[in-house]
Structure formats: structure tokens, C-alpha cells
Amino acid sequence: MAGVLRGTKNLLQGLHKHGHSALVSSRTMASKTPVGFIGLGNMGRPMAKNLLKNGYPVIASDVFPEACKEIQDLGAQVLDSPAEVADKADRIITMLPSSPHVIEVYTGSNGILKKVKKGSLLIDSSTIDPSVSKDMAAAAEKMGAVFMDAPVSGGVGAANSGKLTFMVGGMEEEFNAAKELLTTMGTNIIYCGEVGTGQAAKICNNMLLAIGMIGTAETMNLGIRLGLDPKLLAQILNMSSGRCWSSDTYNPVPGVMEGVPSANNYQGGFGTTLMAKDLGLAQNTATNTKTPVPLGSLAHQIYRMMCARGYAQKDFSSVFQFLREEENQ
């Protein structure tokens, strides 16, 4: 008991030091109060399920009501709009496709900020433009709420098993409150700095991932054309300096590995459209900061071309198939 009281006292002193309201402290300590979740798609659905599994009541909303069916069956309450969720929950997680969706869900006519309670913690795990995260944080602050960006890496598999990596940006003194929820969905919760820096880390990772995937695909294709067996070539690369995640964990060539999208006609995994979007974000941020990213630009063009040629819904490792088809033209 004494320990609990001491912990509470320290927490209150900490909050006082940072000028936070009593509302923030009651929210931070009310550990199993309902958590709002908006955007129950490929990633959001398993993430919300893990919150439920960890004993957090979930209040959900999605423009596509069918998306909420599964978690409703597991006991979640489903409401019609983000504003209604904000009226009921003072901690809300959003997992939406891209920047315009996030702007709509936070600042739209039925958005979170229409009904947000003072002291609420709003965590956006979508991958979006860092400048939009900053705008949302400023808009939330005007309403007395705290916004943090916490994009993820790991994909649907990690979302299901609760092993996502979260890259978190925002007020450092709110990090522990965010972490309490994020640990139910992920194993690595990394504080990156001020709001928007979580997105910055995510965008940098995905630009390198795209470049590595295209490089692996064209290398494997060349090797095959030179008469090498693809499995043998992958084995050699993976014991040599060309090794990377795309060659040893997510090889894009059908038949080289099991349990990856290339073994399943590039179904599931991380869609080419989403990769094209993330590379577009990298381009914007590179332009704004006058940073040369020649390979990132080329990767963006390649993934955009793929979207226009029927690869939009396939996993991004289908760039191997795209290159194979190009060579026959």
C-alpha cells in the first residue's frame, strides 16, 4: 500500500513539475478504463483484439461497419463516429490508411476533436506525413488534449501476435501513458522525440526497405538469367555482404522461402499501394528538407508504375514479378 501511495505521489509530483492538469493524472492512472479505437482494418483489427485480450474495454468505430464485426463479437462496443468515441473514451488509438483519413477523423465534422475530453490521450499509429501529425497535435492541444504519433513496423503477423514495433513522437512526459497501452500490442516501444519524429523514423525505414527490396529483386533476377539456381543464389547472398532483410527473411522470388507472400502469389503482407504512399511521404519530406534521395525517388517511381499496372493490391515484394514481366516486353 505504502508503495502504491509513494508511486502515486511521485507521479503527481512529476505531473505537477510538467504543468499537467489533474485530468491528465486521473486518465493516466485509470488503467482499465475504455480505450477508443478508430480504423479496424488489416492492422487495426488485430491491434484492438490485443487490447481486449489484455482486459481493456474497447469502443470502436470505422466508416466500414463490417470491419468492426469481429471485435464486436469479442465484446467491443461499436459507435457510429469518431466524435461519439471521443465522448466516451479519454484514450483513443487511430489506425487509418493515410494523411487525409487522419485529418478527417480528427478534425472533420464528426471528428474526435468535436467531442474530445480535456486531458485525453490521442495516439495515431497510421503512417502519415509528419507535418500532418504536427498539425493534429496543435489542434488537439487547443482542445486541451495530447496527440502522439506512434506508427508501427512489423505488419499483420506482428499485429496478430502483439509483437509490433512502435516509433513514438510527442511530449516525453506522456510517453509512459502511451507505452502502457502500446505494450499490449507491441514488444518494442521506442521514444523518438517531439511529435512527428515517430513518422520520420517509420518513413526512413520504409524508404530503405523499398530500395533493399527492389535491389534484391533485380539481383535475383539477374542471377537467374545468368543460370544460377535461385535458392542457391539466395543462400550465397545471405552468407555474403549483399545480405539484407529482403534477401534473408522476405525473399521476393517464388520457391526460395516458405511462409512469405512470394510463396503465395504475393497475397497478404504489405500492399504495393501502401509502399508507394510511404515513398511519396519520403519524397515530400526530402523535398522540404532539401535532402537528396536519388534511390528513394527511383523506388517511388517504380512502386507507382506497379500500382498503375495491376500490382496495387499485391505485396510489395511482387516487384520481382514486375521486373520479370518488364523484361519480356
| Cβ nearer to ligand NAD, comparing 85 with 237 | 85
Question: Residue of minimal CB distance from ligand NAD?
Answer: 41
Note whether 62 binds ligand NAD by CB under 6 A: yes
Give min distance, CB of 28 to ligand NAD, in A. Answer: 26
Q: Which long-range contacts does 229-236 make (Cβ < 8 Å, 24+ apart)? A: 230/255, 230/256, 231/255, 231/256
Note whether 211 binds ligand NAD by CB under 6 A: no
Which residue of 76, 177, 274, 293 would you call a contact of ligand NAD, by CB under 6 A? Answer: 274
| Cβ nearer to ligand NAD, comparing 24 with 152 | 152
Note whether 166 binds ligand NAD by CB under 6 A: no
- Decide if 117 is catalytic: no
* Calpha distance 163→100 (Å, rounded): 27
Give min distance, CB of 146 to ligand NAD, in A. Answer: 21
Binding to ligand NAD in span 69-128, by CB under 6 A: 95-98, 101, 104-105, 126-127
Give min distance, CB of 220 to ligand NAD, in A. Answer: 22
Cell output for 321: 514479378
Which residue of 57, 155, 212, 254 would you call a contact of ligand NAD, by CB under 6 A? Answer: 155
Task: State the pairing for strand pair 152-153/164-169.
Answer: antiparallel
Note whether 63 binds ligand NAD by CB under 6 A: yes
Instruction: Say if CB 104 and CB 132 are below 8 A apart.
Output: no
H or E, element range at 30: none
Catalytic pick among 49, 202, 277, 314: 202
Instruction: Say if CB 94 and CB 39 are below 8 A apart.
Output: yes
Task: Count interface residues toward ligand NAD (CB under 6 A).
Answer: 27
* Dihedral sign from CA coordinates of 102, 301, 307, 211: negative
Which residue of 71, 152, 220, 293 would you call a contact of ligand NAD, by CB under 6 A? Answer: 152
Instruction: Say if CB 112 and CB 106 are below 8 A apart.
Output: yes
| Cβ nearer to ligand NAD, comparing 14 with 41 | 41
* Calpha distance 128→150 (Å, rounded): 10
Instruction: Say if CB 38 and CB 82 are below 8 A apart.
Output: yes
| Cβ nearer to ligand NAD, comparing 25 with 262 | 262
* Calpha distance 272→213 (Å, rounded): 12
Instruction: Say if CB 150 and CB 192 are below 8 A apart.
Output: no
Sequence-ordered alpha helix ranges (H) in 18-150: 22-29, 44-53, 69-73, 82-88, 99-107, 112-115, 130-142
Give min distance, CB of 194 to ligand NAD, in A. Answer: 20
Instruction: Say if CB 12 and CB 67 are below 8 A apart.
Output: no
Give min distance, CB of 276 to ligand NAD, in A. Answer: 10
* Contact mark string toward ligand NAD, 22..51, x via CB under 6 A: ----------------xxxxxxx-------
Binding site for ligand NAD (CB under 6 A): 38-44, 61-64, 67, 95-98, 101, 104-105, 126-127, 152-153, 155-156, 270, 274
Residues noted as catalytic: 202
